[in-house]
Amino acid sequence: MKILVCISKAPDTTTKISFTDNNTKFNEDKVQFIVNPYDEWYALVRGLELKEKAGGTVTTITVGGADHDPIIRKALAIGADGAVRVNADAGDAYFTAKQIAEYAKDKGFDLILTGKETINYNGAQVGGMIAELLGQPYVSIASKLEVEGQTATLERDIQGGVEVVEGPLPMVVSCAKGMAEQRIPNMRGIMAARTKQLEVIEPAEVKSLTETVSFTLPPEKGSVKLIDPDNMDELVELLHNEAKVI
């Protein structure tokens, strides 16, 4: 089985967010970056599990500059066989999806896996766009994935239950919690990652369809009012007249 896993970098969850260029660009100064957790924990690890079960290869693909190389090396240390980096700023979701689709269109991948979204933009758009550009089936936010021959069976958590989906390969899948368990790279994997192939390719000519107008931080949390537990009348009055929730 030939599997392509899309990975991207994201700020560590403890990062203090700020913006530059008149609030149109994320400030990366002194930020610790990690592999986007949905890409790493679920898409990449499930891809490796399928390879270990049925044989084949797992290749990662990333759209970004040389500053992405450390997170790509981590994916290689976890077990990916090779990696591709499209040498371009990621731009918007369409630009990213188009670059990945252009690379994958003639490579014969059975599965293309993405995380359900990135934790920095939460767009959840790239997987669906890749599928559309390649003319392949797409299953989003899958929590389980099994492959038998040329048929994939997936589960998705839905309102009040679980949806089971079946479809033919090749297929694009976005992966959510439940798909796999996190793997920690061991020393052998870290050493092996140094010699694994990281192929850098130039981007296709693609125009972004959207642009960022501005970013804003959420408002700071307001002060907290503490009410004596014996004073229920005051609590009800505040909830009704001030908070307006009852």
The domain spans of the chain are: 2-218
Contact 100, 6 (CB under 8 A): yes
Residues with Cβ < 8 Å from 151, sequence gap 6 or more?
A: 166, 167, 168, 169
Contact 43, 5 (CB under 8 A): yes
pLDDT at 37 over 90: yes
pLDDT at 246 over 90: no
Residue range 49-68, pLDDT digits in tens: 999 999 999 999 999 999 99
- CATH 2.40.128.720: does it fit domain 2-218? no
Mean pLDDT is lowest, of 159-173, 190-204, 212-226, for: 212-226
Q: What percent of the chain has pLDDT over 70?
A: 100
